[in-house]
A and B are shown apart, each in its own frame.
Chain A
Amino acid sequence: MSGVCKLKFTDFKSDQGVRWCAGCGDHAILNSVQKAMAELEYCKDDVAVISGIGCSSRFPYYMDTYGFHTLHGRGAAVASGVKLANTDLHVWDITGDGDALAIGGNHFIHLIRRNIDINVILFNNKIYGLTKGQYSPTSKRGFISKTSPYGTIESPFRPGELCIGARGQFFARTVDKELKLSVEVFKESAKHKGTSIVEVLQNCVIFNDKVHAEITDKEYKEDRTIVLRHGEKMIFGKERNKGLMLDGMTLKAVTIGENGITEDDILVHDEKTDDISLHLKLADMEYPNYPVALGVIRNVESKAYDYCMEKQIREIKEKSSIKSLKDLLYSGDVWEVK
């Protein structure tokens, strides 16, 4: 069983110098994760931080926990093995939009589908940073980069849509510099039994600076994002006068008090419903038609793979007459030469 420790968030910092660029959004995410782990009362030795390759994947080196910086795209698969070898560990998988959604796309969707109890933090800066500026699978259509000098001609993935499409039971979104929200969301994701995906809108100060600025800048963020909380009305805006409602099958951003709309018309967020339809709509909302959803969008109770695996082994062990290799060797068609 994993223990309970009362540590400060600084206890989770390793002695390695952090080598991300000054102003990189990763610094803030590192702080939020350390803070979340301290608040979750984790013991450092029970934590395994696994990553793939990319700027974000340097993360384990900066954590004073067990850590494994693996191969490009394969963090999710390595993390699966770690968790199944020792289900008591807190396993966190740190990845980016290239690592998780391009080279590691297959592992990403299958991890989610299996629902192994791993917390994935997906740093989404819509660019390849470590290789210095190529477009990524989340870059918007027409995006100009070193490998798309005339603009991309492909549609981006929306991580939330992909997660829910892969039968994801937990999806949340936060912004690198929103420390308080990030800590809250990371803690929720850790408590969820099964795979949880947290997309962090992260700023790459060198190769894609201000990619999220139009929604995350202080002056706009309240009007252009909505923080969803379970059981609360979906209200947003500086004046707290905007909200989300359903018009038939369509989700609509509306202003309370206009066109006869009252607060009663505004939806209440239910992160726990199994039905994916509204969660999908919320996860897919993009500016300028909608505010971008932050917070926990989907958080449905479900059976984790690791739990089911152990349960199955336990049950079969109990029933079987084969208790050792010797029993196995002598089972079935064995004959004696005298």
Chain B
Amino acid sequence: MGKRSKVIEKDEVVVRFSGDSGDGMQLTGTLFSYTSAIFGNDISTFPDYPSEIRAPQGTIGGVSGFQVHFGHSEVYTPGDYADVLVAMNPAALKANSKWMKPGGTIIIDVDSFDEKNLRKAGYKTDDPITEDKLGDFNIIKAPITALTKESLKDMGLDNKSILRSKNMFALGLVYWLFNRPLDNTKEYITKKFKKKPIVVEANLKVLEEGYNYGSIIQALTPSYQISPADIEKGFYRNINGNTATAWGFIAASEKSGLELFLGSYPITPATDIMQELSARKDLGVKVFQAEDEIAGITSTIGASFAGDLAITSTSGPGLALKGEAIGLAVIAELPIVIVDVQRGGPSTGLPTKTEQSDLMQALYGRNGESPVVVVAASTPTNCFDYAFYASKIAVEHMTPVILLTDGFLGNGTQPWKLPDMDEFPKIDVPMVDRNMKDWEPYLRDPEKLSRYWAIPGTPGFAHRIGGLEKDYKTGAVSHDPLNHQKMTDVRQAKVDKIADYIPELELIGEEDADLLIIGWGGTFGHLYTAYEEMTNEGYNVALLHFNYINPLPKNAFDILSKFDKKVVCELNMGQFVGYLRMKFEGMSFTQYNKVQGLPFTVNELKEHFKKLLEE
């Protein structure tokens, strides 16, 4: 290969692959991410796809994107703006060009920029580059369709199969751009299509063509060099938040010795959790695809009653349907975990987009006084940890726990240093004991205030529970007014007590910072990057990020009261800040909110924080 005309050394780069939802951009992005991760870069990825599987071809609504951010140092977000954009058609260019960094590289499949596709994408002229004012970008007009066709013309493939290989051309070209080896991708293709040798051959050929095309045009195009990151030693894999969540439950099942049951109904963007667990029959996981969201959770409650580690997974609309049943788990004091992979709402809302707008629903979306534990994961990989700890709390304290993740975490990926399971604690299951004296169904652990688990099949512990209010001692149905007060109090106290069993908050930054940035859940990567960049720029800011929402960590008040200027950032209209104001009456918070179905950008966060610091 010849000498490169110009090599740009960079610490980090964001690449966005985009095309029609049938163009295979998700696969292309995933393969590129793997290669970069194995090369030794730290990465963060995020897919962005339409809710229609095949939205009208060529339209903006049908554009599917996959963004990958990789760097020489650690990266915490998929990146705000792209350095390199691959646009397989005019709609992809139209939808994404505004998310480009100035001077970046745009690769377009020039063959798809015909009259028809330009109009479908909403371009008025035949020159989208001028029309979108993209003159300052480095545009590579590659005849991807034509070259793919030419390359495969003698292989006896039908036209459809030939066109399906276009994405490999684009991938090959991007590999050239970043000096990346093709080996991992070749291996993947060979394995994936091993039953169809002709498809393997075609894809490999086109991949090479794409790479070679880069060498041919190199005189015109700069390429990038991103050195490997300094990463902790160990074994790694790429994982998205939904898979990490599923595996966290498997870990909890192993550490508790309980069989794992998932009762669930498919819903975007949570379905992957169910799919992953359905495939884990090899580890004995029982997955029950229920007829609806309600049966999803009620079968879960049944499995919990009978002694399984019982989980249900859903997204916002499903959580609404499960509300009544969560109340049953509250009053029956049975352990279950409800995962809500939040998406844009209300109603069907934005199924494939991310939001944090189910917090109030998780905390309060039920009839009666029905406190539950609410926990939120904050990175794709720590979904594993919080799924594990949500299960641990549920079982050890005999309570429903809601685990909040979101579409951004669920679908986003990160390299994950494989955990050493010896470092995870055992889960103590509060099963009744044959020697227990004076046992009653609502006899409580004096410390935790939780009742004991007596599962059907255990000799000598037959008892009845249900959704009617229970007598404090015997668990028999009781309509006594004072007993109801007492039971309401103890259910609340039991959840409050959990604060003694969860880790305290850790402040990132100094206690004398001029501004405390506050966040919870899936916004961590963006908030942390903003914090880090501002600190590097000489600002004195600190970050406090919450994973435990109910109960709050015990030192929350102490930390918060150290700061005058506080800003609570969340992807909703201010649900967490409202909760904090209620919990810490009189404490003042400002808020920064965004409800666009999109994550924060680091830029907008920094801009806002700087403005606050000037005030």
Query: What residues of chain A have their CB less than 8 Å away from a CB belonging to chain B?
Result: 2, 14, 16, 43-48, 50, 53, 60-61, 63-71, 74, 77-86, 88-89, 106-107, 110, 309, 312-313, 316-317, 319-320, 322-326, 328-330, 332-338
Contact = CB atoms under 8 A, between A and B. Distances in A.
B281 A337 contact: no
Contact of B463 (A66, A79, A329): A66
B232 A337 contact: yes
A329 B290 CA distance: 28
A109 B263 CA distance: 17
Contact of A68 (B37, B250, B302, B457): B302
A317 B456 CA distance: 26
B40 A82 contact: no
B131 interface: no
Interface string B258-300: 0101010000000000000000111110101011101100111
Nearest to B465: A68
A59 to B, nearest CB: 10
Interface of A is mostly: mixed
Interface string B213-237: 0000000000000000001111111
A203 B306 CA distance: 33
B490 interface: no
A45 B461 contact: yes
A319 B281 CA distance: 11
Contacts of A71: 298, 324-325, 328, 467
Contacts of B468: 69
A84 B287 CA distance: 10
A48 B238 CA distance: 44
Given A77-B290, A78-B305, A328 B283 contact: yes
A324 B283 contact: yes
Contact of A326 (B233, B288, B421): B421
Nearest to B251: A325
B235 A336 contact: yes
Contacts of B254: 324-325
B421 A334 contact: no
Contacts of B238: 333
9 contacts: A45-B459, A71-B467, A77-B298, A78-B299, A85-B304, A85-B308, A329-B247, A337-B233, A337-B234
B466 A16 contact: no
8 cross-chain pairs, A with B, having the tightest CB-CB distances, nearest first: A81-B302, A69-B466, A320-B282, A85-B306, A81-B299, A66-B456, A67-B464, A78-B302
Contacts of A44: 462
Contacts of A74: 294-295, 298, 325
A81 B464 contact: no
Given A14-B464, A80-B288, A89 B306 contact: yes
Contact of B282 (A61, A322, A335): A322
B302 A80 contact: yes
A70 B466 contact: yes
B427 to A, nearest CB: 13
A295 to B, nearest CB: 30
B292 to A, nearest CB: 6
A334 B464 contact: no
Contact of A78 (B236, B298, B477): B298
Contacts of B302: 50, 68, 70, 77-85
A69 B283 contact: no
Nearest to B238: A333
Contacts of B233: 337-338
Contact of B305 (A2, A82, A325): A82
B237 A68 contact: no
B34 A333 contact: yes
B107 to A, nearest CB: 26
B310 A81 contact: yes
B237 A333 contact: yes
A63 B456 CA distance: 13
A337 B457 contact: no
A80 B251 CA distance: 25
Given A86-B455, A329-B247, A334-B235, 14 more contacts: A2-B457, A68-B332, A69-B466, A79-B302, A81-B261, A81-B300, A81-B301, A81-B305, A82-B303, A86-B457, A313-B281, A317-B281, A329-B237, A334-B237
